[in-house]
């Protein structure tokens, strides 16, 4: 039987990755996935297929899932407030259903 959960997705420059993960963990996220990214935004196109002299400005997608929707929103808001006033990036939440809820308990 599926259980309701919330997925938080963060798209950010790699230079912020460690700081974002630290914020997540300090606020109760117990696991996450990080994937290299590429794409096009309002100001530029980024691709991980081309050589990059400074990998810190490549983008990553960081995702975590929580059963507690309020806590997930709080973490998302903390990341948005702390990092994305000065750096480019986005955070979005989506409803999810998980089949192994014990993997997402804090």
- Give the CATH number of domain 3-96; options: 3.30.70.120, 3.40.50.360, 3.30.720.120, 2.60.120.560: 3.30.70.120
CA 52 to chain centre: 22
pLDDT confidence of residue 65: 96
pLDDT in tens, 18-66: 999 999 999 999 899 999 887 766 655 555 555 555 565 688 999 999 9
Show the CA angle centred on residue 44, arms to residues 19 and 40, nearest 5°.
85
Q: Where are the alpha helices (DSSP H) in the chain?
A: 17-26, 69-83
| Mean pLDDT of the 62-75 span | 96
Read off the pTM: 0.84
94 SS3 class = strand
Res 44: pLDDT: 55
Where are the domains positioned within the chain?
3-96
Q: How many CB atoms lie within 10 A of CB 68?
A: 15
Determine the pLDDT at residue 37. 80
Two tokens, residue 49: 């297929």
């Amino acid at each position: 039987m599926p259980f309701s959960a919330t997925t938080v997705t963060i798209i950010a420059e790699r230079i912020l990755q460690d700081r974002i993960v630290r914020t997540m963990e300090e606020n109760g996220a117990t696991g996450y996935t990080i994937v290299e990214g590429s794409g096009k935004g309002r100001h530029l196109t980024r691709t991980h297929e081309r050589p990059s002299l400074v990998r810190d400005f490549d983008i990553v997608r960081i995702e975590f899932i929580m059963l507690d929707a309020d806590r997930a929103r709080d973490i998302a808001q903390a990341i948005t407030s702390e990092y994305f006033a000065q750096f480019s990036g986005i955070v979005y939440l989506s409803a999810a259903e998980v089949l192994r809820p014990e993997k997402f308990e804090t």
